[in-house]
Amino acid sequence: MRVGNLSNRLTLFTELGAIDVEQSSGGLFAADPQAVYDRWDEFIAWVASPRSVTQAVPYATESLGPPAPRPRQVFAIGANYRAHLEEADFPVPEWPMIFTKWPSSFAGPFGEIVIPTDSVDWEAELVAIVGRRARNVTAERGWNYIAGLTVGQDVTERPIQVRGVMPQFSQSKSFPGFSPSGPWLVTLDEFTDPGDLEISCILNGRVVQKARTSDLIFTVPMIVAELSKTLTLEPGDVIFTGTPGGVGYNHKPPIYLAAGDKLVTTIERIGEMRHSIVSH
């Protein structure tokens, strides 16, 4: 199942087009795309049940929004691909490095990213959305708490990320538009192996990042386990899982996003996001 956010309305996406869930369910489910995660099991059952389906309609990709637009909590993992650690010359971490991206930075999968400075970088990432409340869950059971996967960018202003004696990442990653995701959430039954997907980032037609999510040091179920040791994961929470090698500042010389750039972020079996970079 592909489910997401079309003009701020919960929408199923099929080969034939978009199906509005509130209309199709006769109001059983609200239009708010965020609200569905609190009733995720009920929603999955409704989608699987025989039902009268309203006609699927064509839609404009520009109207797609983030599949989970207003999560209670947002988590992001740093330094989580072996190749990215090698290029940054970091040791393999013993625990996941966890920060947040404030939801005011959320954006849809198509459109513009406004860069506030000349040192803004890309980070293609697999994003997992929580579908069930989780507390003290083991990694073996971690996938059971995930509603599905989507594509994300953890856009980052590099100098702010590393400033000060004890750098805090979140501010550098939370300018408006710095956390796009989409084009939709894909449920886990759609994947042969949800832990092994090709992820890539293409800047102006040039492949700058290409990896497989099987190279993650802390996998999605491991992240669920680690987070749920200290807090309760809530339905609709969003987890940015980290970026592979090939980010701009590790190029020699560094490359940063510039006005006019075209950024394409893709994960196999999920889809792609396309953004144009504009200056402030």
- Residues contributing to the site for Zn ion (CB under 5 A): 123, 154, 243
The β-bridge relationship of strands 9-14 and 2-6 is antiparallel
Closer to Zn ion by CB, 123 or 226: give it.
Answer: 123
For the record, the structure tokens of 41 come out as 């099991």
Closer to Zn ion by CB, 23 or 104: give it.
Answer: 104
For the record, the structure tokens of 27 come out as 């109001």
- CA–CA separation, 107 and 152 (whole Å): 10
- Burial grade of 250 (CB within 10 A; 0-12, 13-18, 19 or more): middle
Closer to Zn ion by CB, 11 or 161: give it.
Answer: 161
- Residue 123 C-beta: closest distance to Zn ion, Å: 4
∠ CA 145-148-152 to the nearest 5 degrees?
120
- CA–CA separation, 21 and 47 (whole Å): 9
- Residue 68 C-beta: closest distance to Zn ion, Å: 17
Which residue's CB comes closest to Zn ion?
154
- CA–CA separation, 236 and 26 (whole Å): 23
Closer to Zn ion by CB, 34 or 156: give it.
Answer: 156
- Residue 83 C-beta: closest distance to Zn ion, Å: 14
- Residue 188 C-beta: closest distance to Zn ion, Å: 22
- Residue 32 C-beta: closest distance to Zn ion, Å: 27
For the record, the structure tokens of 81 come out as 């691909």
Closer to Zn ion by CB, 187 or 243: give it.
Answer: 243
Closer to Zn ion by CB, 243 or 265: give it.
Answer: 243
Identify the three-state secondary structure at position 148: strand
- CA–CA separation, 175 and 249 (whole Å): 18
∠ CA 14-18-10 to the nearest 5 degrees?
110
Closest CA to 242 of 29, 84, 51, 24: 84
Closer to Zn ion by CB, 100 or 117: give it.
Answer: 100
144 within 8 A of 264, measured Cβ to Cβ = no
- CA–CA separation, 127 and 123 (whole Å): 12
- Residue 98 C-beta: closest distance to Zn ion, Å: 11
- Residue 239 C-beta: closest distance to Zn ion, Å: 11
